[in-house]
Structure formats: C-alpha cells, structure tokens
Amino acid sequence: MLYHGCYMSNIKLDEVTRVHFIGVGGIGMSALARFFLHEGKVVSGSDRASSAITEALSSEGVEFTPKQSPDNITDDIDLVVYTEGVNEKTEGYGELMAAREKEIETINYFTALGLVVNPYYLIAVAGTHGKTTTTAMLADVLEEASFDPSVVVGSLRTKTRSNYRAGKSKYFVVEACEYKRDFLRLEPDILVITNIELDHVDYYQDLADVQNAFRTLAKKVPADGFIIADVSNPNVKPVLEGVEATVIDYRTFVDLGISLHQPGLHNRLNAAAASATASTLEIEKAVSDKALENFAGTWRRFEYKGEVNGIKVYDDYAHHPTEIAAAIGGSKELYPDKSLMVVFQSHTYTRTSELFDDFVTALAKADRVILLPIYAAREENVSGVSSGKLAEAIMEIGGQAKVVVNPEEGVELAKKITPENGVIITMGAGDMTSKVAEGLVNK
C-alpha cells in the first residue's frame, strides 16, 4: 500500500470513535493525539517509557501506557496510528500486528496527518533546515492577524508549551517532513520551501533524489496556490521549474530592521519566509512584523536552559552540518567575546559517514567540542565511523575535541573545561536535552 510516500485510505475520521497511538510520545504523534482529543475522540497510546510529553498527554486526557504490548490493542479501537520507527525489531511491532490480526485499520503518522490536514486550506512548511522555526513563526503571525489557525509543529512552541494548536478557521499550518517522501501525503495550497540539501542519506541516494521529492510536492500545489522559496538557491531552482503555482521569493522579504529574539542569519531567513507567506494571505506587514519580533522560539531550537558556574547553557536539535554551523554562528553573533563549547551527539551512522567532512568543518568552528557516542537510532554501524574519528579529524584542522563515553561524563567534562562566563550549546539527538543540557543546569 505504500509506494514513494503515497497511500490511499478510505478512512472517514468522523466515524472514528477511539484512536490508539503506538509511539505516542513522539513529537508528531503527540500533536495528532491532541488533535483527536480536541475532536472528542477517545485517545489511548503507548510508548517505551514515560516522558514529559506523555505526562502532559495524560493530564490532557490521553490513556497512556508506558509499555508496548499486544494487550494494549482492545476490540473497541477503531483506528491505530503508528510511528515511522515501528519495525520487526521494536517493541511496538507486537501492538501493530495485534491490531492487524483484529482487522483494525492501521496507518502510519504521515498518512494520518494527511487525512487530518488536507481538508483545510493547507500551509505546509518543508525544507532541510528551519521548517520547525518557520512553522512556529507562521503560527504566531496568523494568530496576531486573527486568522485562528490550526497548527502542527515538530517541536513545542515556547509560548504555549505545545506542538498543537486547535483553531476554528479554514487554515491549517503544518510542518512537512521529507524523510521517505512522507510529505507527499500532503495537498498544500501554500508550500514553503526553506532550503534543500542532502540529508536522510539512509533513504535518499543523492541530492537529485531529494530534489525529485521536493519537485513532486511542488507540482501538487494548484495554480491558484503559492510556493514560497529562495529562487536564487541552486538546489531549489530545479524544483521550481514548470510549477503551476505562483512562486514568491522570500529573500525579498528579509528585513534587517526587525528585532528578533533568535540570533543568526538563518533565523532572519526563516522570518522572511514567514513574512512572504503572510503577504500571500494579505496580512499587513506591521502585523507580521509585530508577531515576529515577539516570537519566543521553540523547544530545542537554540533554547536557553539556564546557567552553571556563570556559564550560559543552550540546547539545540542541530544534527546536520549546516544546522550546526548556523547554531554556532548565531551563538558567536550573540556572544562574540565568550568562549563557546559544543557538546554534540551525532544522529545515525549513515549521516555521520556520508557528511563526515562537513561535520568536521562545522564543529571546528566552536572553540571546544565534546563528542558523545553516535546515536544509532535504527541503524547498525557498517561504515566504521565513530566519534573518535570525528575528534581526530577536528583536531587535524586546528580544532579542539574530546570524546566521552556517556552523557554523565560529558556533563562533568563540560563544566570542568569551559572557561568562566563561557557558553555551552548541547546539540544533536538522543539524550542531549534530558541528560546533558538539563544535567548541566540542574546540578
């Protein structure tokens, strides 16, 4: 039923009474769980363990189980939504098989997302980098303009501490992920493309393969719709050739006069993309500017966590070399005279191996780097890449890098070798937030 991101489903959501989520603690899954709760459905979910997100869901009314088991699948469930990460090797697979044995409809997160958002006037924000921040910025802009949008964002908005907003209008803003061409389940009326680079190298063969996916999505935007993009970007140009929608160059909306709380050129470009989108909806510039200047950010996007021994600690999801370089650049813009320590955990062996030289160049821009073991996610290490090899390569070009074996050691080393009044940014996936960033400021 799945082929290059396409899935046909005859599910009628108004006939669904009870929904179960396998992997409900995920950032996207939890947003959809909140949507179904708001629609009056009975919502249950499981995950491998409790988390701050599942605790919040429980308080909101989700029947959460901190254990994945076939016993969680009861006969009264109408629909099961499962996370992309479920496979034969994961605990959630037993639940998925139990649902199919009971002939309960099962769909993955992205199919469910398409079913939810496609009936609306859909604003989809895609791109290799910046889509979370741009989506959240757009949410603030449309709120300020009284458009009352519904929103699904791949993080927690700082001002609401939620990844979902329930609106009452026809507008829905959604973050659109390119992994496995999943965003092709969406039918956008406005498509924002922040940028395009090679990523998700465990799925995409090369940059041309990534561009092909984006081009397929761009061609789905109708003639009376809009595509917001950087038309001068050589990676984006081929994607836009021959599209029916009106193309708007967001670079023309860059405004250096706007006072943003988030540092860095990359955030000015995100703001420009949001402004350009607002213009297609005939929102006055003064309104969008006000929202952008008040934008408080999102969870794990250069998020300030606190201080330890006079050292400021930030946390960032940066897991691609371009994102790492942007976060480091933003920090140096904000604190030009402070020493910068980066504590980094790379995400997947495949990405680390394929983009190895780019990681080295980006990380070497920090004054010091501490590297945790690579976060394997769904992979086995067939390339032999390691954090040790990253550290060696960083030092070969003049950087300073050390390797630790676990988050606890990373916390202690960061406190020990970061100069007084310096800055620490924890970056990457895995345990970076709970065990390193919060470990630093809570001890």
pLDDT digits (tens, 9 = 90+) for 69-79: 999 999 999 99
Reference 228, options 194, 263, 255; nearest CA is 194
CA distance 58 to 193: 35
CA distance 255 to 289: 9
Residues 6+ apart with CB under 8 A from 135: 125, 151, 153, 154, 173, 174, 175
pTM of the model: 0.83
User: What's the confidence (pLDDT) of residue 430?
Assistant: 67
Look up tokens 């996936």; give the residue: 429
CA distance 300 to 287: 26
Instruction: Measure Cα distances from 169 to 143, 146, 151, 257 in Å.
Output: 11, 10, 11, 31
Q: Which contiguous run of DSSP H or E holds residue 344?
A: strand 340-345
Kindly tell me if the per-residue pLDDT of 67 is higher than 70: yes
Largest CA distance in the chain: 62
Supply 180's token pair: 């496995």
Question: In this structure, how many other beta carbons lie within 10 angstroms of the beta carbon of residue 166?
Answer: 14
Dump pLDDT digits (tens) for 120-150: 999 999 999 999 999 999 999 999 999 999 9
If you average pLDDT over residues 308-325, what whole number do you get?
91
How are strands ordered across the β-sheet holding 171-175?
Answer: 162-165, 150-157, 171-175, 121-126, 190-193, 226-229, 246-249
Cα dihedral sign for 206, 212, 214, 215?
positive
User: What's the confidence (pLDDT) of residue 9?
Assistant: 58
CA distance 106 to 36: 16
Instruction: Measure Cα distances from 412 to 18, 103, 201, 260 in Å.
Output: 47, 51, 33, 33
Kindly tell me if the per-residue pLDDT of 429 is higher than 80: no
Dump pLDDT digits (tens) for 183-230: 999 999 999 999 999 888 788 999 999 999 999 999 999 999 999 999
User: What's the confidence (pLDDT) of residue 84?
Assistant: 84
Kindly tell me if the per-residue pLDDT of 420 is higher than 50: yes
Instruction: Measure Cα distances from 8 to 5, 111, 114 in Å.
Output: 10, 8, 10
Phi and psi based region of residue 40 (left: phi greater than 0; alpha: psi -120 to 50; beta: remaining): left
Kindly tell me if the per-residue pLDDT of 5 is higher than 50: no
Query: Which tops the pLDDT comparison, 117 or 85?
Result: 117
Confidence tier at 443 by pLDDT (50, 70, 90): low
User: What's the confidence (pLDDT) of residue 125?
Assistant: 98
Kindly tell me if the per-residue pLDDT of 442 is higher than 90: no
- What is the share, in percent, of the chain residues with pLDDT greater than 70? 98
CA distance 151 to 136: 8
Which 8-state DSSP code applies to residue 433?
I
User: What's the confidence (pLDDT) of residue 140?
Assistant: 98
If you average pLDDT over residues 271-296, what whole number do you get?
97
